[in-house]
Amino acid sequence: MSENKKKPNPIDIHVGSRIRLRRTMLGMSQEKLGESLGITFQQIQKYEKGTNRVGASRLQNISSILNVPVSFFFEDAPGEGVGVASGLSEATSSNYVVDFLSSAEGLQLNRAFVKLTDPKVRRRIVDLVKALAAENVDND
């Protein structure tokens, strides 16, 4: 197997998917992220697919641009002992957050919610969603 045809490392794929998740959460295009880093959107695509490995300094720059700690990109990463250091309940609880924010509805809700500036309105939205969820459970 030639060096170019080898399968991407699972960690590289995971880090890339977390870059994509955060970028889309912010509504940022691949072009915009690439411009901020001085690279092409095609390079961002390769990072996000895991076909190209993100170097440490570049990951530090990406974390700064996307306003998250570097550790964000490794949360729930595949491998031995996942969840042991952070606690298994934390690992599984953050999976549903990633799943939610990866869905079209979750992303739309998140984008709309962060535009709300009044804490009382935000609280009412949360209460409404909780009430609807409880009602849904009762009807099942």
What is the pLDDT averaged over residues 87-97? 50
Q: Which helix (H) or strand (E) holds 111?
A: helix 104-115
Instruction: State yes or no: pLDDT of 57 exceeds 80.
Output: yes
* C-beta separation of 107 from 25 below 8 A: yes
Name the pTM for this structure: 0.61
What's the pLDDT at 25? 85
6 SS3 class: coil
Instruction: State yes or no: pLDDT of 33 exceeds 90.
Output: yes
Rounded to whole angstroms, how far apart are CA atoms 123 and 130? Answer: 11
pLDDT tier, 129 (very low <50, low <70, confident <90, very high otherwise): confident
What's the pLDDT at 46? 95
What's the pLDDT at 4? 52
Instruction: Out of 17-21, 58-62, 108-112, pick the least confident.
Output: 108-112
Instruction: State yes or no: pLDDT of 2 exceeds 60.
Output: no
